[in-house]
Amino acid sequence: MSVPLDDRGFALGDGLFETILWSAGRLVLFDPHFARLSRGCEALGLPAPELEAVRYAALAEVEAAGLVDGRAAVRVTWTAGSGGRGLDRPEPLSPRLLVTAARAPAPVGPATLAVAATRRNQGSPASRLKTLAYLDNVLARREARASGADEALMLNGRGEIACAAAANLFWFEEARLVTPALGCGVLDGIVRGETLKAAAELGLVVEEICAGPRALERARGLCLSNSLVGLRPVAAVDGVAVRPHPELDRLVEKVAAAVL
């Protein structure tokens, strides 16, 4: 499968994607993924796809990949379609739907993080969306790998903690569970939302904050959230071990039950 060279998703990053887990014979949290894709379309000024078209294409790709009985990562890409002159979009737009499915990565142990020099752009709506313009995330991840870590910890342009290259961040400050606010230039993660919900159900006090990296000094139970792994604990940041928190295991289990 391929995409024409004049597709704006290819040429300019003008489009969105979702990565949806296929597990136990279903598309996990399909409705919130589709809702986020639709909100993203609104933010970017793109028509939204039709729910049934996306679901059908996703199922067809899982089947074609021979993964119906396994765990698959389904990537749904929705581009602004072909055409336009330079940056200007054509009128009318003919968006393009492209779906692929691949074996989902196996579960992994705790992650190590490295703080990346590449910053999040909190001054663009794209920083809160899964867009095809994901190069800053690639560069941050590359920095992390170069320093021997698994994943990047990204700050935004104001120097506040934002997220990982492919995950949201959570940690405990004493009894409170905290996560960077969306205004920090943070993807509105599906598992982020499920984690906030699960934490509230566990009776935890949860708070969305804006904080500089010094907040990590008093953080406990730091973890990553993403659709393919649920909540993944972090072992160390820039080589400094993360202290555990007594509530983390319970939260990881509750989130896993909802999202894996």
Enumerate binding residues for its own copies (CB under 8 A). Answer: 1-14, 17, 44-45, 75, 77, 80, 85-89, 98, 100, 105, 118-126, 131-139, 141-142, 145, 155-158, 165-166
Would you say 118 or 177 has its CB closer to its own copies? 118
CA angle 200, 121, 98 (to 5 degrees): 80
Give the helix ranges, DSSP H, for 45-102: 51-64
Q: Is 235 exposed, middle or buried (0-12, 13-18, 19+ CB in 10 A)?
A: middle
Would you say 89 or 197 has its CB closer to its own copies? 89
Distance from chain centroid for Cα 220: 22
- Which residues are bridge partners to 72 per DSSP? 22, 103
CB of 232 to its own copies, least distance (A): 13
Tell me which residue of 79, 65, 43, 21 sits closest to 259, measured CA to CA.
21
CB of 172 to its own copies, least distance (A): 27
Would you say 12 or 59 has its CB closer to its own copies? 12
CB of 145 to its own copies, least distance (A): 7
Would you say 14 or 194 has its CB closer to its own copies? 14
CB of 103 to its own copies, least distance (A): 10
Do 197 and 168 meet the contact criterion of CB atoms below 8 Å apart? Answer: no
CB of 19 to its own copies, least distance (A): 8
Would you say 101 or 251 has its CB closer to its own copies? 101
Is the preceding peptide bond at 92 cis, omega within 30 degrees of 0?
Answer: yes
